[in-house]
Structure 1
């Protein structure tokens, strides 16, 4: 069963997308969509990172662009130094 929702994506460009969601009653992941696995360095046993293993109940690559959104222009900064003015701060 496909459970769809609308999300806002920022990469590769801003857009509204329709995406699949995990099954909330999945007994393997409890509706979270996957599991985190911490792993350590083989020699020292120290924490080295976390890997994500997606669950079989959903496909995180299943997504469709509904509406591309425009990129908003960034405001231009006139001066690189905000304290470089000769005027007093009061």
Structure 2
């Protein structure tokens, strides 16, 4: 059974994607989607971790739904509409 959620992906542009999620009652990963295996160096100190994905989900199963516009373009358009006098100008009229 597929458990879907909506996410924002920044791979190849900004997209709204529908993706699979790990099974919350999985006995192997306990809903994390994988098992982390930390390992140490020759002195016994923590060096890094390996991540093994669980079989209860497929992290590559995703569908692009909608491209999202870039934030700075939206802000520029919004600012242009909100500022009737242009950048750097002001009004001596009281605000009320």
- The verdict on a shared fold, with TM-score over 0.5 as the criterion, is yes
Q: Hey, which bits of structure 1, 4+ residues long, moved more than 3 A?
A: none
CA RMSD of aligned residues (A): 1.7
Bigger proportion of residues as helix: 2
Q: Which structure 2 residues correspond to residues 58-73 of structure 1 after superposition, within 5 A? A: 58-73=57-72
Greater RCO (Cα-Cα under 8 Å, separation 6 or more):
1
What is the Cα deviation at residue 72 of structure 1? 2.6
How far does the alpha carbon of each residue in 1:23-70 deviate from its partner, in whole angstroms, 9 at most, with x for none?
1111111111111111111x2222111121110000001011100111
TM-score by length of 2: 0.69
Matched, 1:53 2:52: yes
Structure 2: gaps spanning 5 or more residues: 76-96
Structure 1: gaps spanning 5 or more residues: 76-90
Per the alignment, residue 10 of structure 1 pairs with 10
